[in-house]
Structure 1
């Protein structure tokens, strides 16, 4: 339906200082990164049990009299986004936790705008209600006899311009009914970053809160094998997960918080050696959907190390020196995720993911999860 995917890093990302990836369980080949591209989400010709992530710095979080600020990076992954729904639902219980900024791609973008819109119009309870209502309606709108196999076969033979000539997209009606985008732009409740992939060159474009529209979210959630591309101001966009799933480095640059929580919903673990066509496709998607997240986490770690030695540090470097990066992975909390379908919108399945997300967030808040200390 609207699960995200990723693409490998662009080779033309370069800067005066080349950043090599540090050794990590998910290490990639050494690569060069452009700080301009990574932070602004654009090309220079336009304004830009599973693995656990160790935080860039290990800190002990002390109780404060003021509300603690937290930014959120929400990955896309279709119906797996119900796990993020649960995480957000639990975080919204914490009165002393101020959500400063949120970024998202695809299903992560959907959850992000639901959160922002709900907070703006009804506070924490409004956000919880909006998330609840959307996911319930998404399940109700899904065909009861939906066949993922039939869809997979159709997309291998036909383009969406052939099997869906009228560009029918149930998500469009759901979002239009749930969210007043004019009100969201007029009075944003937090810093909002929605990622979409520019088709002509494959680069990330980040839409900020004042630019977020229904089309922006549809662009971020546009899988090109299922939906027609989305055109905004003359530019054509596909799913944001192809370039950043989710936009992480732009989030760090935009946020006023020194703490950022990544909610990863696409599995990293898969079949040891997939041999059937369906298994191969599923594993390819899992790798693709996570590649840019791994790249950006490695890049942040390297940038943080370099910033500590920088003389006359820039604003971003000062942020990186203080950054505490945390990570919740859905597959750790819901081990059956890698065998599940991101097209499954059955209500019982969504509720299981939601509960797993709530439990994961509760463990993170209590300090039981690696990377978080009280």
Structure 2
């Protein structure tokens, strides 16, 4: 039986963490249940490794945690109290004395109905009555293969108005076959899960990457926007032109090459990553964010990834205190780059020190924008005044 995985050094107090690495869904959930035996959660977030079958886990969930509200999604990896993992079933129990939650499921999301998303979101907000003195935020978990997150998150921002939203796109290891979200005991593809949280904890949103623009420019000259597919760059076959710019043979293009050589899109004075997922067909490139004809792209060059990770996670409240925990959504391409450079142990140590838990995503949502190759998170602090939890 797996021992309880307390967060390194000083454990978080507003959440309880449980982890199982068992191969059987029923056994894994039994271990989760035992580790959470003394927790009193408002809800539990469950992040699945690709080796576990969602349907089997859903069946076992009804028996193992019958009276617990559970949400979650499939992942491209987990961030546990050990740091980066690939095969862990991770449960985060949000204590009810600090959190309230309401939820809604958008299905189908391909194609997205902006009007429906806005009205459904506004209805959720109006029905979830505010408690004086508490703060609100939203979490979004979307089918990571839906290719609809850009529109979805923009519509959510309109419906949520001044409520900040953060989240990640569900993953499927590196298979890119089927991604799902968990709501009301069932897993759903072509869907997105919205959680509206209320808490007495102060919190701060995080969002950072480690890329800077180079002088290499390119223009999308032929695309299939609804498929996030680029067929031509600079008038040449997309994969061939990209390979020329990053100075590798087309045959050597891989997720690791894409991770270390992303393309950037400029929005005013900020650059956002438009990550490449894979080669499509003979010369096409599939992206993880919106793409269109005429879009100007800039090749990105990475800064030192561990240093930017350490800087980005070094947040504190107004009294200079570290977070109780950080809920993190980290692009799987960041993990690939870190592993390729042999830095996964060092990155995991930073996650442990900063009490980060979460998962590796197929895309991240940060304050109304869908991004890639970015760490997005929410740092939760103890209630104002530093009163014990």
Greater strand share, structure number: 2
Question: Does the alignment reach a TM-score above 0.5?
Answer: no
Q: From the CA coordinates, give the structure whose radius of gyration is larger.
A: 2
With a CA cutoff of 8 Å and minimum separation of 6, indicate the structure with the bigger relative contact order.
1
TM-score by length of 2: 0.26
